[in-house]
Amino acid sequence: MLETAGIPTAVICSDEFGPLGRAEAQVLGLGALPLLPIPHPLAGNDAALVRAKAEAIADEVLAALTDSAATLAARHGGRFLALTDKRMAGGVVCIDEACVYDPGLARGGAS
């Protein structure tokens, strides 16, 4: 893990996988790890669309690699946190900012 070695790191992920990325970062003790979302999906996008998505976050990537740890923690520590908490609690399926409760997925719920 580069962050724990003091090497600035930014994780680029599609917005659909942001909550999973935040959950993994929290488990690894990197709760403020910069997660830089790009619009989902990437699969099936032509090169021009992928380039446009990358160019749209280029400044964020640069900032994530050069800003101070305190600035990054303030900016990124809460990103995807609400959705991550809901998903980690179980029983919730989230797409972007909308979540739906599924009792079959809840811990201890019917399967």
DSSP for residue 96: T
Q: Is 90 exceeded by the pLDDT of residue 3? A: no
In a domain, 111, yes or no: no
Note whether 36 and 13 are within 8 A (CB).
yes
Which segments of the chain are extended strands (E)? Answer: 11-14, 35-38, 90-95, 98-106
pLDDT digits (tens, 9 = 90+) for 32-88: 899 999 998 889 999 999 999 999 999 999 999 999 989 999 998 888 887 667 666
* Number of domains the chain contains: 1
How is residue 61 written in tokens?
């990537």
**Domain presence at residue 44:** yes
Structure tokens at 100: 């739906």
Q: Would you give the DSSP letter of residue 67?
A: S
Q: Report yes or no on 61 lying in a domain.
A: yes
Q: Do the domain assignments include residue 32?
A: yes
- Is residue 67 in a domain? yes
Supply the Cα-derived Rg of the chain in whole angstroms. 16
Q: Tell me whether residue 66 is in a domain.
A: yes
Instruction: Compare 19 and 62 and report the one with higher pLDDT.
Output: 62
What is the separation of C-alpha 31 from the centre of its chain, rounded to a whole number of angstroms? 11
